[in-house]
Amino acid sequence: MRAWLNGRLLEDPTAPAVTLRDHGLTVGDGAFEAVKVVDGRPFALTRHLDRLARSAAGLGLPAVDDAEVRRGVAAVLAAEDLPLGRLRITYTGGVAPLGSARGDGPPTLAVVADVLQPSRPTTSVVTVPWPRNERGALAGLKTTSYAENVVALAHATERGAGEAIFPNLAGNLCEGTGTNVFYVVDGELRTPTLGSGCLAGVTRALLLEWYGAHEVDEPIDVLESAEEIFLVSTTRDVQAVTRCDDRDLTGPGPVTTECQKVWATREAENVDP
Ligand SMILES: Cc1ncc(COP(=O)(O)O)c(C=O)c1O
């Protein structure tokens, strides 16, 4: 693991480095990105930086200095040989009082690089009763306030599943704790719209460009009869779902398999030089 914080590479990436007064720590006031590293190079970094800028703007944080983030990314990747890795870019409100009000200090910017274990080709999911708020101030933002995801994923883990799937307030299918959801009905590949409150996943966007799918919002119960279901994310790529709640799905099905092939072929084209 390598870590870069506020302009410098840390000698010991595991040593304490951020103050207890950081607003990201006290109230989760921050935005972040998880970026895949392939053969030592970041995958789709520009798309991730665009989303980080949107998340920061949505939180009302100062604009992110892209060049500074890229310097941090270059520094951690130069310091470590990573055939398959993940970057974690975190941008918080910086030093602040202990409540919700922000301080006057500069934001905190951290970039960490670590090894990424290849994901399994298949997984199982459970739907959870807690809705995503598609009308909330943080809808669609990738913020460090991720405790709802922690609770939902723990709920899934307790039931032997690898991901939890949220409905939204309207009762429609939304997303997983760290994934976007695709499914097949009558042979048609579908995924929730961004209006569902799901994150605008980089993997989702690329798969829509490279393969295509019908963006539509429908009740989460659609998963009960979907012919195929798969998850997409930076750390899972295209991952087939072989069990959803109490229902087994044979798979990966034909559409999922095709998407996995398209992904594997096209991924290399988007690794930033
Ligand atoms: C809540 C949520 N939805 C979807 C995704 C998938 O996004 P991406 O493909 O950019 O990794 C993530 C990724 O971390 C996430 O946290």
The DSSP-derived string for 115-157 is E-PPPPSEEEEEE-SSPB-TTSTTTT--BS--HHHHHHHHHHH
Please give the model's pTM, rounded to 2 decimal places: 0.97
How confident is the prediction along the chain (273 residues), in pLDDT tens digits per residue? 999 999 999 999 999 999 999 999 999 999 999 999 999 999 999 999 999 999 999 999 999 999 999 999 999 999 889 999 999 999 999 999 999 999 998 999 999 999 999 999 999 999 999 999 999 999 999 999 999 999 999 999 999 999 999 999 999 999 999 999 999 999 999 999 999 999 999 999 999 999 999 999 999 999 999 999 999 999 999 999 999 999 999 889 999 999 999 999 999 776 765
Q: Which of 258, 222, 223, 220 is nearest to 238 (CA)?
A: 258
Classify residue 107 by its DSSP letter. P
Report the DSSP pairing between strands 163-167 and 122-127: parallel
Both tokens of 159, joined, read: 């039931």
Measuring from atom 12 of ligand 1, which residue has the nearest CA? 178
pLDDT of residue 272: 62
CA of 206 to the centre of ligand 1 (A): 13
Q: Is the minimum distance from the CB of 201 to ligand 1 under 6 angstroms?
A: yes
Does 203 sit in the ligand 1 pocket, CB within 6 Å? Answer: yes
The packing angle between helices 202-210 and 254-266, to 10°, is 100
213 pocket-lining for ligand 1 (C-beta < 6 Å): no
pLDDT tens digit sequence for 69-126: 999 999 999 988 999 999 999 999 999 999 999 999 899 999 999 999 999 999 999 9
Please choose, from the candidates 54, 61, 50, the residue with its C-alpha nearest in 3D space to the C-alpha of residue 24. Answer: 61
